[in-house]
């Protein structure tokens, strides 16, 4: 069984790939677990090779990524694959490749015929565009370690950024083109809507129709803790935004001072979240070690990405947040997408998101 995830990026597709791959590697045929390999992006390099670990021919990601393969060559590699794969196809990669339409048509036909296809979506296209705007400053789509998150985003929490109108419009228009492309070229079997599916991603994966009549394990059986608790640990250990007023970061503004470390971050979390981490961190680290083995064995190219910023944090980082909302509404009205009715709608969205990450969320949340 092969699974393909369609994405414009910034919609949880990397998270979905990794979690899906972990679950698929828990499926047993009664004797042994058959490897399922995550190839990440299909269009920037995949290869067949012999695996000493599995003592068989495998397909994986090469060390060098790039557009060196034609789409026909990608198909040929996939045809020579002897195990299940998960992967994604990002629309902007296909735009950059500029393959001929006949080549693309053959490629899409092969994928439609040989993959279970999931289309990623966002309810809040506004926040999707904000995420891309932040990426323009951080230059990172995802981070996988707590140290990397702190190093990458420390400065953004100390010095607000502005997102130019043309940048916001560029990403909004790219999302619209992605929807048109995915709906036109693919027979989508399921939709992954970030705001609805991400909080229960384990349930989303285990209930995919491609797993009908297949016994899929759950996160707790695999790792000794629930997915929700594991993912909260994954985020809280580098939760820069939880520091009240970012005082810790302001104290580290001089270049000759050290970056905050994980213990600094944890000490500034609410007491109830510190207690949560005290209870679960050891199990979390053990589970993370098991996931790292999948990376070592070339089953996955990275571990599970860490949640970058909540909507509240985006508001904290982006100086012209309100102006961005006005630009979005003008674009949405012109292009037939839902507009933001008022500030309360953003507050409600932010509040509902925070409930996924914290034990207690104040009901007086404001985003002025």
> Is there a contact between 191 and 198 (Cβ–Cβ < 8 Å)?
no
Q: How many domains is the chain partitioned into structurally? A: 1
In a domain, 368, yes or no: no
Residue 364 in domain: no
Q: Does the residue 234 lie in any domain?
A: yes
304 within some domain: yes
Residue 367 domain-assigned? no
pTM exceeds cut of 0.75 = yes
pLDDT tens column, 317-358: 999 999 999 999 999 999 999 999 998 899 999 999 999 999
* Per-position DSSP letters for 220-254, written without gaps between them: HHHHSS-HHHHHHHHHHTT-GGGSGGGHHHHTT-S
* Residue 360 counted as domain residue: no
What residue numbers bound the domain in which 137 lies? 3-354
Residue 93, in any domain of the structure? yes
State the average pLDDT for the chain: 91
Structural domain contains residue 362:
no
Contact criterion met (CB below 8 Å) for 16 and 90: no
Q: What is the pLDDT of residues 129-177, one digit of tens each?
A: 999 999 999 999 999 999 999 999 988 888 899 999 999 999 999 999 9
Alpha-carbon distances, residue 343 vs 109, 210, 213, 250, 348 (angstroms): 44, 40, 45, 28, 9
Spatial separation of the C-alpha atoms in residues 7 and 24, rounded to whole Å = 20
């Amino acid at each position: 069984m092969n699974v393909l995830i369609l994405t414009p990026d910034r919609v949880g597709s990397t998270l979905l790939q990794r979690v899906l791959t972990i679950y698929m590697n828990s499926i047993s045929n009664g004797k042994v677990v058959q490897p399922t390999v995550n190839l990440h992006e299909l269009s920037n390099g995949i290869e067949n090779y012999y695996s000493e670990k599995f003592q068989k021919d495998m397909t994986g990601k090469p060390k060098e990524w790039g557009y060196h393969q034609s789409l026909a060559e990608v198909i040929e590699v996939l045809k020579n694959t002897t195990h299940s794969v998960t992967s994604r196809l990002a629309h902007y990669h296909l735009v950059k490749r500029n393959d001929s339409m006949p080549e693309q048509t053959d490629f899409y036909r092969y994928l439609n015929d040989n993959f279970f296809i999931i289309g990623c979506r966002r309810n809040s296209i506004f926040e999707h565009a904000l995420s891309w705007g932040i990426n323009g400053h951080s230059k990172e789509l995802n981070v996988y370690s707590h140290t990397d998150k702190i190093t990458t985003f420390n400065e953004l929490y100390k010095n607000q950024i502005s997102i130019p109108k043309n940048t916001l419009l560029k990403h909004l228009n790219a999302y619209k083109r992605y929807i048109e492309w995915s709906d036109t070229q693919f027979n989508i079997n399921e939709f992954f809507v970030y705001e609805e599916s991400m909080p229960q991603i384990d349930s989303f994966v285990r209930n995919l129709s491609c797993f009908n009549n297949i016994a899929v394990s759950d996160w707790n059986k695999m790792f000794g803790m629930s997915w929700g608790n594991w993912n909260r640990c994954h985020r809280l250990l580098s939760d820069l935004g939880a520091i009240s007023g970012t005082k810790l970061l302001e104290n580290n503004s001089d270049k000759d001072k050290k970056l905050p470390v994980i213990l600094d971050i944890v000490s500034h979390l609410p007491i109830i979240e510190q207690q949560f981490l005290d209870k679960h961190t050891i199990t979390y680290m053990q589970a993370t070690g098991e996931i790292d083995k999948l990376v070592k064995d070339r089953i996955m190219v990275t571990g599970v990405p860490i949640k970058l910023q909540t909507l509240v944090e985006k508001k904290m980082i982006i100086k012209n947040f309100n102006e961005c909302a006005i630009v979005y509404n003008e674009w949405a009205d012109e292009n037939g997408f839902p507009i933001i009715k008022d500030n309360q709608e953003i507050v409600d969205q932010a509040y509902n998101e925070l409930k996924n990450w914290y034990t207690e969320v104040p009901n007086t949340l404001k985003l002025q």
